[in-house]
Amino acid sequence: MVRGEIAPKKLYEDDRVLAFHDISPQAPVHFLVIPKSHIPTTNDVTKENADVLSHLFAVIPKLAKEQGIDQDGYRLVINCNRNALQTVFHIHVHVLGGRAFLWPPG
C-alpha cells in the first residue's frame, strides 16, 4: 500500500504515515494507520525509528475525531507475531469504534 501497488480507501496520508479503511471491518468504524517506513513488528521498534510511531499515535486522535468516534471511545489493536495473529509483517494499528466492545478481547 505504501508503494502504491494496492489502492486502499485512504483516510489520511502525510510523509510518514498512511491511514485507510480496513477491507474487512470488524466494527462500524475500522481503519488502519501504518508508518511508511518498514518496521515489521513491535519487536523491531528502536530509538532510531520510534519517532514515526510517536507521530502515528498523534495522528490517531485526529482521525478518530473526524470519524466521530473520539467521544464515545475506540479500541487500538497492534498484533505482534504469529501467536497474536499478525499476518502482515509491517506494523499497523487497527482503530475500531462505533460500538461497545467486550473485555477480555481474546
- Does residue 85 form part of some domain? yes
Hey, which residues does 52 pair with through a beta bridge?
A: none
Q: Which of 21, 90, 92, 94 is catalytic?
A: 92
Q: Is the pLDDT of residue 101 over 60?
A: yes
Residue 105 located in a structural domain: no
pLDDT at 5 > cutoff 70: no
Domain count, the chain: 1
CATH number at residue 60: 3.30.428.10
**58 belongs to a structural domain:** yes
Range of the domain at 46: 10-97
CB 2 within 8 A of CB 66: no
Quick check: is 83 in a domain? yes
- The predicted-structure confidence for 26-58, as pLDDT tens digits, reads as follows 999 999 999 999 999 999 999 999 999 999 999
Query: What proportion of the chain, given as a percentage, has pLDDT over 90?
Result: 88
Q: Report pTM.
A: 0.90
Active site residue 92: yes
Helix (H) or strand (E) holding 12: strand 10-13
| CA pair distance 2, 75, nearest whole angstrom | 24
Q: Is residue 82 part of a domain?
A: yes
Residue 31 is classified by DSSP as E
Q: Which cell numbers hold the place of 3?
A: 508503494
